Amino acid sequence: MLQHLSTLAADPAVLAFNPFDGVSPSFGPFNTLLKSKVGMFLALVWAICLCVTAYNLLIALTKLSAARQGGYGDNLHEAKNESLKAAAATVALVAAPVIYGVLVAG
């Protein structure tokens, strides 16, 4: 078995095999947008905002869990509002590219 593998490794045809030959990335309706510097900047801002809102959502859900376990009524109401705002912002950011894709493709 080991001898067979070593002969395969020494074969230049096996070493030259690249499974990604002819594969190019396609961003669908975002292809034209991502070719410009402004579009790439907007994509970077979107990605950073998505990371921030996801982080805020995790923090808000942690506060909500702590308020529920501790039995703090005032904190529970505040934590619910924080988590709803963070969830709405995250859903809006996730839906923005989908809405853009539908508008551009349609």
Each residue's pLDDT tens digit in the chain (106 positions)?
Answer: 556 655 555 566 656 777 778 777 777 777 777 888 888 898 899 999 999 999 999 999 999 998 888 776 777 888 899 999 999 999 999 999 888 888 876 6
Contacts of 52 (CB under 8 A, 6+ apart): none
Residue 3: C-alpha distances to residues 7, 11, 15, 16 (Å): 6, 13, 16, 20
Rounded-to-integer distance, Cα 27 and Cα 25, Å: 7
Q: What is the pTM of this model?
A: 0.67
- 84 alpha carbon, distance to own chain's centre: 20
